[in-house]
Amino acid sequence: MHTIDLSYVGHGYHEELVAYVADQEGYYEDEGVHVAIRDGVGWKTERVRHGATIGLGRALLSRLTDGIGWKMLSVNTHRPLFWFLGNADVTSMADLRGRRLAVHGGHTAPGCFARIVMRKYGMDPDRDVECVTRVPGDYQMDLRRLRDGSIDAAYVGSTLSPEQVADEEGFHLLAWVGDHFQIPTVGVAVDPTHIPLESPALQALVRANERALRTIAEQPGLAVDYLASFLQRLTRDEVQQHYERYVAPYFTPDGQVDLNIAQQAIDAVAAELGVAPQAADAIYQPQRP
């Protein structure tokens, strides 16, 4: 049996769902590959690049800024699963001006995406908003700080459902990043200097993950069961609604990339980082028949 490490570099179902389905449904075993799913959230890039990684956004930023030749072989979604959440007094993105926003650092993929979206709303993230940079976990501390007033808004990921949190806490869902900025963000990426693209283990991993993507698209009841294991504060009906809003329409059923979206995203990220863009077809595996 072949073996390969696969790291996730962010918490939440946006990173973990597809690999979790592939593992639990036995798809890796069917492909004859043992996949060690590793928590790489706190890893330096040098360690991440020794295995396959789910974090396409982080890999892209690393390629643009560090020159590492990451190659993206499969894409789960082009819609980043991050949200702007405001407290009781912040009811719209316009209300963020002059406010304290807890957000990922601008050198990280989620933080870069946040800055791009803020600019689309006409805000300069360095002047118009007081960005309180923090290392994200499951965002529970953000909720606590929203309650006690030490921050006014938070940029949160898929460890929680923003609609449910807003309803329970009297907060406001300000914006979903996926409505304003598209980029291939999760899937399978490797550094070919460590894992050759023709590696049997890598190809088996990709096939199993793409089978999991088909399962998520074609078996919604099963997909909701798995999603519920990540969103345990939600009722079954709320998980179903979350699946129908954010997963079913936007997770690819085949893992293929839209190179036009990818190129626009690369150009936007490069401009935000102040580096030279690169060609999408040099980074992402071309569409397969």
Q: Which residue has the higher pLDDT, 160 or 137?
A: 160
Pick the closest to residue 262 from 282, 242, 238 (CA basis): 282
- Per-residue pLDDT at 136: 79
Mean pLDDT, residues 113-123 = 98
Band of pLDDT at residue 288, cut at 50, 70 and 90: low
As a whole number, mean pLDDT of residues 164-171 equals 96
- Provide the β-strand partners of residue 75: 187
Predicted confidence (pLDDT) at residue 287 exceeds the cutoff of 90: no
Q: What is the DSSP letter of 34?
A: E
DSSP of 143-194, one letter per residue?
HHHHHHTS-SEEEE-TTS-HHHHHHHHT-EEEEEGGGT-----EEEEE-TTT
246, HSE (Cβ side, Cα atoms, 13 Å): 25
Model pLDDT, residue 289? 52
Provide CATH code, domain 2-79+183-282.
Answer: 3.40.190.10
Question: How far is Cα 188 from Cα 196, in angstroms, rounded to an integer?
Answer: 13
State the DSSP string of 207-231: HHHHHHHHHHHH-HHHHHHHHHHH-
Task: State the average pLDDT for the chain.
Answer: 96
Placement of tokens 């963000």 in the chain: 185
Is 195:70 a contact under the CB 8 Å cutoff?
no
Pick 289 or 167 by higher pLDDT: 167
Looking at domain 83-179, what is its CATH homologous superfamily? Periplasmic binding protein-like II (3.40.190.10)
Q: Which whole number is the average pLDDT over 9-16?
A: 95
Written as six digits, the tokens of 193 are 């200097």
* 2-79+183-282 and 83-179, same CATH topology: yes
What is d(CA 128, CA 123) in angstroms, rounded to the nearest whole number? 6
Instruction: Tokens for 71, please give them.
Output: 């190659």
**What is the domain partition of the chain in residue ranges?**
2-79+183-282, 83-179
Per-residue pLDDT tens digits for 35-82 = 999 999 999 999 999 999 999 999 999 999 999 999 999 999 999 999
Token look-up 């997770």 returns 251
Instruction: For residue 195, name the pLDDT band (cuts at 50, 70, 90).
Output: very high
pTM: 0.96
- Strand (E) positions, 63-169? 71-77, 83-86, 100-103, 130-133, 153-156
Task: Please provide the distance, in angstroms rounded to a whole number, between the alpha carbons at the two ends of the chain.
Answer: 28
